[in-house]
Amino acid sequence: MRGAAPSSHSLLALVATILLPTLALAADLPPGFVRLADIAPGIRQDMRYAGSHNFVGRPVAGYESPVCWLKREAAQALAATARDLEKRHWRLVVYDCYRPKRAVADFLAWAGDAADQRTKPEFYPRTPKSRLFALGYVARTSSHSKGIAIDVGAESLDGVGEPKPLDFGSGFDLFDETSWTASKTVPAEAAVNRRILVAAFAAHGLVNYAREWWHFSLAGPLGAPAYDVVIREP
């Protein structure tokens, strides 16, 4: 004997059971944001502020998962740039994407703590910590919190052995004039790599910050709101 046909209420309950986890997951992102892994899975994510290899020396407030979130337009521009650079056998590596406002506050608190100099040898060996604001290395607000900025490097996929980091003349988040995009103190190969990176991003509307060769932001949406949603994945 066949069972009775399910009522409309039971069907609605079944649909809700299936959809609610998905809707809840989508609601975790700020409005208009996407996960980079869904747009460009070939870009490697090395989210430095979710770990301890960064200038603060510990996981930063708001980074509970090591994943890249961006506004859709920024993610699409990044994906297009990555496709262009694949022709050079380059693979992009992102270090930071969306940054919650509480992370910016965490940076400010760190910068104001003169006693904490643990990371100075790697990240600001020649720059006094007290000068990081004045020199533009640490800011009170960030386009990252709007989901329109990316910190990125690249590695070579030449088909021989493991991927090799490309030389850009300085490490990510080195607070030093060596990191200025047009610095004349870096080797010729690094200078060429920086120019290639800047041109590739500019072709898709992503503008470089002159004091950080790795920082690019989407030109245009200056009025975009900043968010403080914690980066958290199930």
List, by residue number, the catalytic residues.
212
Which tokens hold the place of 7?
């009522």
Which tokens hold the place of 126?
């020649």
**How many whole angstroms separate alpha carbon 152 and alpha carbon 213?**
9
Contact status, residue 198 vs residue 181, Cβ threshold 8 Å: yes
β-pairing verdict for 90-96 and 44-45: parallel
Contact status, residue 152 vs residue 79, Cβ threshold 8 Å: no
**Residue 178, phi then psi, degrees to nearest 5:** -60, -30
- Alpha carbon 84 to its chain centroid, in Å, reads 19
Contact status, residue 126 vs residue 176, Cβ threshold 8 Å: yes
C-alpha Rg value of the chain to the nearest Å: 21
